[in-house]
């Protein structure tokens, strides 16, 4: 996909991602946002708590935003990769999906932040595959600070605590992030 080429995937949003190159890998082209979804794989390692098997999952968050008419729109996903104990109890990998709308704010004081977003998240029940008991709530808000490096990398912070929570990429008019994996237990 070249600059300015925006194909519709049925979601109504433009496809801003890398395309596959001839070697089967993903090459970064001008005007494309590197796609982090391929990096969101089960990292493993969430099988035991204090030496005992426990039902749980490896957990990661993915977010992607596109600037549209002076606002930022997109989605955030909570990806849960079931461990074997949870699978034995009938659990499966699942995802919680929120539609996201954000207004741009002044950059918070986090290290290198040059952009702030005040985000409203609305649970997308149709796209969410996790049991409602796991979701624990439907809608919410969050304030982010983003440090955009000149090479296209972006570091994401929680604006209120200035704590780094994820890394991603940016191009003109688009941003994404993926968090480090953590373990969740039931």
Consecutive 10-residue runs of the chain (186 residues): their mean pLDDT?
A: 30 40 37 83 90 95 94 96 96 96 94 96 95 83 96 96 96 95 93
Strand spans (E) along 28-161 = 48-49, 52-53, 56-68, 71-82, 94-105, 115-123, 140-148, 153-158
CA–CA distance, 176 with 186 (Å, rounded to integer)? 29
CA–CA distance, 21 with 19 (Å, rounded to integer)? 6
How do the domains of the chain map onto residue ranges? 1-32, 49-185
- Note the pLDDT of residue 5: 29
Q: Is 63 helix (H, G, I), strand (E, B) or coil?
A: strand
- Note the pLDDT of residue 132: 82
- Note the pLDDT of residue 84: 96
Q: Which residues contact 27 (CB under 8 A, 6 or more apart)?
A: 18, 19, 21
- Note the pLDDT of residue 32: 85
Predicted TM-score (pTM) of the model is 0.80
Q: Is 87 helix (H, G, I), strand (E, B) or coil?
A: helix
- Note the pLDDT of residue 31: 65
């Amino acid at each position: 996909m070249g600059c300015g080429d925006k194909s519709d995937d049925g979601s109504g949003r433009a496809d801003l991602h890398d395309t596959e190159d001839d070697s089967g890998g993903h090459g970064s082209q001008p005007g494309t946002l590197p796609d982090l979804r391929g990096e969101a794989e089960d990292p493993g390692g969430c099988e035991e708590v204090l030496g005992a098997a426990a039902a749980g999952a490896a957990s990661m968050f993915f977010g992607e935003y596109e600037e549209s008419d002076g606002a930022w729109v997109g989605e955030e996903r909570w990806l849960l990769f079931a461990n074997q104990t949870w699978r034995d109890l009938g659990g499966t990998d699942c995802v919680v999906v929120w539609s996201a709308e954000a207004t741009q704010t002044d950059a918070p004081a986090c290290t290198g932040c040059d952009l702030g977003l005040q985000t409203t998240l609305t649970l997308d029940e149709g796209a969410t595959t996790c049991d409602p008991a796991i979701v624990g709530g439907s809608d919410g808000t969050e304030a982010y600070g983003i440090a955009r490096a000149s090479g296209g990398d972006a570091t994401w912070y929680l604006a209120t605590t200035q704590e780094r929570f994820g890394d991603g990429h940016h191009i003109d008019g688009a941003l994404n992030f993926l968090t480090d994996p953590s373990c969740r237990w039931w």
